[in-house]
């Protein structure tokens, strides 16, 4: 399981250790929610936390694969830190 490679990372607090991941899996098995890849979701979360702690100014520039549709997001035309206006019109036009 991928969690073990992140469990001892200096960038992750104790909250994200394996026992909490297993607890979350148990909870999701008890509810009637459509299936999605929770392991991939947790991997994306851990990568985001590690990237954010390494460089707070560039972690939002990473692209991810959707755990629902399995499609890769497009790279944005501008880095997050240089994007001054955060509106839908600018995002679509560029």
Handedness of CA 43, 66, 52, 61 (dihedral sign): positive
Query: In the structure encoding, which two tokens stand for residue 1, read together?
Result: 């399981």
Whether the model clears a pTM of 0.75, i.e. scores above it, the answer is no
Domain that holds residue 60: 3-93
pLDDT of the residue at 13: 57
For 37-73, how does the pLDDT look when each residue is reduced to its tens digit (9 = 90+)? 888 888 888 888 888 888 888 888 888 888 888 899 8
Phi then psi for residue 37, to 5 deg, are -80, 95
Structural domains counted in the chain: 1
* Cα–Cα dist 94/77, whole Å: 7
């Amino acid at each position: 399981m991928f969690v073990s490679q992140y469990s001892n990372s200096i960038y992750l607090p104790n909250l994200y250790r394996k026992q909490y991941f297993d607890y979350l899996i148990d909870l999701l098995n008890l509810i009637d929610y459509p299936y999605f890849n929770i392991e991939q979701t947790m991997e994306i979360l851990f990568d985001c936390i590690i990237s954010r702690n390494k460089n707070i100014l560039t972690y939002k520039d990473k692209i991810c694969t959707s755990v629902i549709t399995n499609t890769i997001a497009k790279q944005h035309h501008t880095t997050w830190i240089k994007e001054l206006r955060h509106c839908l019109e600018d995002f679509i036009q560029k």
